[in-house]
Structure 1
Amino acid sequence: MKKNVILFLLIFGVQFAQSQELVWHTNVKEAIAVSEKQKRPLLLFFTGSDWCGWCIRLQKEVLLTPEFKEWASENVVLVELDYPRRTPQTNEIKAQNSELQQAFGIQGFPTIHFAKGITKSGKVNFEGLGSTGYVAGGPTAWLAVADKIVNGNKS
């Protein structure tokens, strides 16, 4: 009986943990549709996931923390725009990411832009809210900056 209870708790715990994982969109049009439905801005994470040391550090220190997960699930729709050197990508994703890199004037990684995306007549337009990158001090410091951008300094 004890084994069954432990097994049940283990299975339930794994399923609960998986349900708490954040969704990082890679298709901007899909993310905009979710953003419009949820009435939340986009968090566009421009990263070099397999080569950029500061990007990897931002992931470990902030984006993979419980504090960020809780904040993001309530405030933004996540979009990862990756520019890897070794990880293969489809031609569509490469083209989309290249176009967005130019549109947002990205010159270094990591860069995070907060924006409202609007699709009109099949074309995507963005209303920029602000941007940031790596912020020293872990999730508390980073989320303080992100909150000011997302809430328009209302807090």
Structure 2
Amino acid sequence: MKLISSLFFAVLLALSPEWKTDFANAQKEAIDSHKYILLNFSGSDWCVPCIRMTKDVFETAVFQKFSQENLVLVRADFPRSAKHKLEAKQVQHNEALAEKYNPEGKFPYTILLDSNGKVLKTWDGYTNTSPEDFIAQINKVSNAR
């Protein structure tokens, strides 16, 4: 039974979309693959709404499947714990993204962008919605284009 559980979680991990940390590389991927960019500002080790949104929406199987087919995921994380400290270069990169897309410093703050970096939709705070509803909101914006 433990082997089956371990294999199941290994498969889920392998299928999980990767959250990128370099916006320029993510933007190039979005252009090449004709996908949208979902940029998420998070305080992964201190922001309870950020943690809930990650668990309740982003880590669900339905969202992961959708995002693999339609999105390039980018996370700008701002951890506070020394244990989760980011390299100085990554901190500067995240701060530059925040200056451009999140100057008010909201957490969580999620933005749907086209591959050119144009803001299409924002979510301010924890959405408190199902992954299906979150996906429907993305589809509504992307289908309107």
* Residue in structure 2 matched with residue 52 of structure 1 by the alignment: 47
The TM-score, its normalising length taken from structure 1, stands at 0.79
Aligned length: 141
Equivalent position to 1:61, from 56, 60, 65: 56
Distance 2:110 2:128 in 1: 15
* Contact 1:135/1:141 (<8 A) preserved: no
* Residue in structure 2 matched with residue 129 of structure 1 by the alignment: 120
Distance 2:24 2:71 in 1: 15
Task: Indicate the RMSD between aligned Cα atoms, in angstroms.
Answer: 2.4
Structure exhibiting the larger radius of gyration computed from Cα positions: 1
Shift of 1:34: 1.1
Highest RCO, 1 vs 2 (Cα 8 Å, sep ≥ 6): 2
Distance 1:14 1:48 in 2: 25
Distance 2:57 2:5 in 1: 27
Listed one character per residue, the Cα deviations across residues 39-79 of structure 1 (whole Å, up to 9, x for unaligned) are 11110011111111110110111111011111111111000
The TM-score, its normalising length taken from structure 2, stands at 0.84
Unaligned runs of 5+ in 2: none
* 2:131 paired with 1:139: yes
Taking the TM superposition and a 5 Å limit, the aligned residue runs for 1:1-155 are: 13=8, 16-86=11-81, 87-107=84-104, 108-118=106-116, 126-133=117-124, 134-151=126-143, 154=144
* Contact 2:113/2:119 (<8 A) preserved: yes
* Helix, strand or coil at the partner of 2:65: helix
* Contact 2:53/2:128 (<8 A) preserved: no
* Helix, strand or coil at the partner of 1:137: coil
Listed one character per residue, the Cα deviations across residues 9-36 of structure 1 (whole Å, up to 9, x for unaligned) are 7786565333311111001111112111
Change in CA separation of 1:12 and 1:51 when aligned onto 2, cut-off 3 Å: closer
Distance 2:22 2:89 in 1: 9
* Contact 1:114/1:129 (<8 A) preserved: yes
Distance 1:49 1:15 in 2: 23
Change in CA separation of 1:82 and 1:11 when aligned onto 2, cut-off 3 Å: closer
Unaligned runs of 5+ in 1: 1-5, 119-125
